[in-house]
Structure 1
Amino acid sequence: MQLDRLERTDIDSDSPALHVTNADWDCFLHEYYRVVKCVWGRTGWGGHAAWQCGAEPPVSPPCSEQARLEPSIRQREQCTALLQKLQGWLPQLHMEGVHNLWIIKPGAMSRGRGITCSARLEEVLELSGKCAAPSVQPRQWVVQKYVERPLLIFGTKIDLRQWILVTDWNLLTIWFYRDSYVRFCSQPFSLHHLHASRHLCNVSIQKQWRQAGGRHPKLPRDLIWSNQQFQLHLQQVGHTGAWENVIVPGMKEAVVAALHSARELVRDRKGSFELYGADFMFGEDCQPWLLEINVSPTMAPCSAVTRRLCAAVQRDVLRVVLDRRENPSCSLLPRNKQ
């Protein structure tokens, strides 16, 4: 049905497969959850599909009924062919995985507070009706498909903070900072253990937890890498050229598209500027995915890398908004690189 809609072949079709009632969907979802609960429960998922930051998910009781899927060879071939067709229409399909995980973020919150993850529609709808803070009205939530197949470094989840500077909204003028930094989780990545220490890379979240014993010796103790260290790692693991050819162009494209979409909501004040912090994750293929764009990104150093970069980005912002106003041809490189 989804492929028919994407390919526009459903417009004049009378196929009975396109007429599915709400009762049919309820029946399908009931059977789907029954199978998934039993299969995941036996592999360590514990049958529990939601978590709150800072708490390990409780283990649900074992399945009371047997549920198994044994597709025939023909069914496997049909499913494989459908997925290959969908891949051409849905760019996110590769990173979605099979657990149907969704991440729910409350509006007007920061530093990873109030973030929840769920694999069940009724839980997402229930959460969206709650108020997480006095400043947040009910139903003001962001719901995103969780990246279930992320690029990992030594088995650990990462994300990347990229600074962007907007000096004009009409015409939209964006400065993309050349340096960035990578944040690590303190525990190894696992979809069977949805603890915040494994899944939220925010520094304010990770500092609450001890780092896992037996961590790979090359993982940073302060959980921060520079983008140069990240590039070197990509080369070492066989992703040569991914930074220049996939990651940076993809991040720039996502930032430009996101800021264009918000132009009409921003009050354009000439002579002003705004510094943002964009957070990205990467799929196994190094494709960047924009998670969010933060206003007032933190400039508090939490590592040797951020101590250097936070000072540099503030200095370089002044070069752009002050020095360049007086002399449009002035160099924007640090003095030791001029």
Structure 2
Amino acid sequence: MSEFFRKYIKKENYPVLPQNIRFKTNFKNCIYEALKRRTWKESEGDMEWDIMWSEKEWIHEVFDHVHLQPHQRINHFRNYAELCRKDLMIKNMKRYKKNLEKEGKMDEAAEVDFFPLTYNMPGEYSLFVEEFKKNQNTVWIMKPIGKSQGKGIFLFTRLQQVSQWKSDFRWKPDNPQAEPYIVQKYIINPLLVGGKKFDLRLYVLVTNYSPLTAYLYRTGFARFTHHRYSHNPEDISNNYIHLTNVAVQKTSNQYDANTGGKWDLRQLKLYLVSKYGLEKVLECFSKIHQIFIKSLLAVQKSMINDKHCFELYGYDVLIDANLKPWLLEVNAAPSMTANTQVDFELKCNLLDDVFTIVDMEKVLQSNEEQIGGFDIIYRQTPISMPANSIYSTYLGCYNQRTSNLKKLSKMAAQRLASTPDPKNKPQ
């Protein structure tokens, strides 16, 4: 925004002066940098803030015990876990699909096919064993429901390996605190680039669940493994081959610190177009776009909406060899720690655009279709692309955030300068 709105809007025309906005966060990565770049002031008090970027734990421990002022904003919804805890996400997807079938919307229900076959452990262990015995050559993956960065994940092909997991401290009848897992059919045929597996980290911002209001960031990145892909039995336990998480890959002796194992989404999209053709790639990206919409609709009725809340989600999507996208998980606290300079600027720009949309300065009109690198994708109903466009999504398109922010700031400056309303005097 920040610099463009400050450049074009006169100080006396600001409804809320940027330097009067107080923020609070315990993060010292790109989040802190983006907050400081807006010239907002850091607050040391527990509740003396206008906007807070909190840890998820704060929501559980504090949110229900405090009274927020009407203007205060916080970066999580109360029950964000409905979308961001692996088992609850799958439960909500299954329920959404079943409801569509009950309503006779069979075609729509058939499109909710973007998550792997999944069982909750230990609750659905017997069901899983039945399925396992039907397909004994299948590779499965175990994931703890609440961890990130690849922690606790392992692949297996033999039931004995799960039995060993069952018998250790994580799952004992006398340990009610044992962490549940999910087990999923492993996607054995991922799309490869240079023989290596990758997944996508993509960003969606929700500012309201009633009515649902969601924005999609044009830019994201692919996260690559640093070892060539193999699903040979002897390589099943090699996380450097199978897990793309940076926290895992950076411990590899083949880790490339210059690129951080990442590739810009637009570059990847252009590469895929050159290899598979425009039509197939556009269809793939359109399906990814629909994953965002359908996953949000799946949890909309479960979410506790609150005017104080917004949330930036980090979607992890895998594309298989048939160019079919699969939703792996949704993160309520996507990493904002950068491992390269390019990564740093991407995340700072992303966060700056988030704060522009949240609009603590009260300079927007709330009907903008694009704000920086974000495009509105849902506002009560899905947002359609222009009739003459060959694209069905802006995902992976050129991100002209700078020119957009200049245009928005000039329009805001003209509007605010011509508004005699006393509410528009600086606070």
- TM-score (norm: length of structure 1): 0.63
Q: Which residue pairs with 2:187 in the alignment? A: 147
Q: Distance in 1 between matches of 2:146 and 2:112?
A: 30
Deviation at 1:266, TM superposition (A): 2.9
Deviation at 1:128, TM superposition (A): 5.5
Say which of 204, 216, 241 aligns to 2:247: 204
Can you give the 5+ residue segments of structure 2 that lack an aligned partner in the other structure? 1-109, 118-134, 373-400, 408-427
- Cα pair 1:159 1:281 within 8 Å, conserved: yes
- Cα pair 1:164 1:277 within 8 Å, conserved: yes
Q: Which residue pairs with 1:101 in the alignment? A: 139
Q: Which residue pairs with 2:321 in the alignment? A: 284
Q: Which protein has greater RCO, CA pairs closer than 8 Å, 6+ apart?
A: 2
Q: Quick one: structure 1 residues 178 and 130, their matched pair in 2 at CA, closer, same or farther if it must change by over 3 Å?
A: farther
Q: Quick one: structure 1 residues 305 and 143, their matched pair in 2 at CA, closer, same or farther if it must change by over 3 Å?
A: farther
Q: Which residue pairs with 2:345 in the alignment? A: 308
Give, as a single letter, the amino acid of the residue that structure 1 aligns with 2:402: R
Give the alignment of 1:126-275 within 5 angstroms.
Answer: 127=165, 132=170, 137-138=177-178, 140-192=180-232, 193-194=235-236, 195-211=238-254, 221-247=259-285, 249-275=286-312
Q: Which residue pairs with 2:22 in the alignment? A: none
Please state whether the residue corresponding to 2:276 is helix, strand or coil.
Answer: coil
Residue by residue over 1:135-166, the C-alpha shift from the partner in whole angstroms, topping out at 9 and shown as x without a partner, is 99436112121110110001000000001111
Q: Distance in 1 between matches of 2:307 and 2:112?
A: 39
Q: Distance in 1 between matches of 2:342 and 2:115?
A: 34
Say which of 335, 358, 372 aligns to 1:298: 335
Deviation at 1:109, TM superposition (A): 1.0
- Cα pair 2:221 2:265 within 8 Å, conserved: yes
Please state whether the residue corresponding to 2:220 is helix, strand or coil.
Answer: strand
- Between 1:308-317 and 1:326-335, the stretch displaced more is 326-335
Residue by residue over 1:97-118, the C-alpha shift from the partner in whole angstroms, topping out at 9 and shown as x without a partner, is 9941111101221110110111
- Cα pair 2:112 2:294 within 8 Å, conserved: no
Q: Distance in 1 between matches of 2:308 and 2:116?
A: 43
The alignment covers a number of residue pairs equal to: 243
Residue by residue over 1:214-257, the C-alpha shift from the partner in whole angstroms, topping out at 9 and shown as x without a partner, is x9xxxx8431100111012112223433442222x212222222
Q: Distance in 1 between matches of 2:196 and 2:310?
A: 36
Please state whether the residue corresponding to 2:253 is helix, strand or coil.
Answer: coil
Q: Distance in 2 between matches of 1:158 and 1:320?
A: 30
Q: Quick one: structure 1 residues 162 and 196, their matched pair in 2 at CA, closer, same or farther if it must change by over 3 Å?
A: same
Deviation at 1:283, TM superposition (A): 0.9
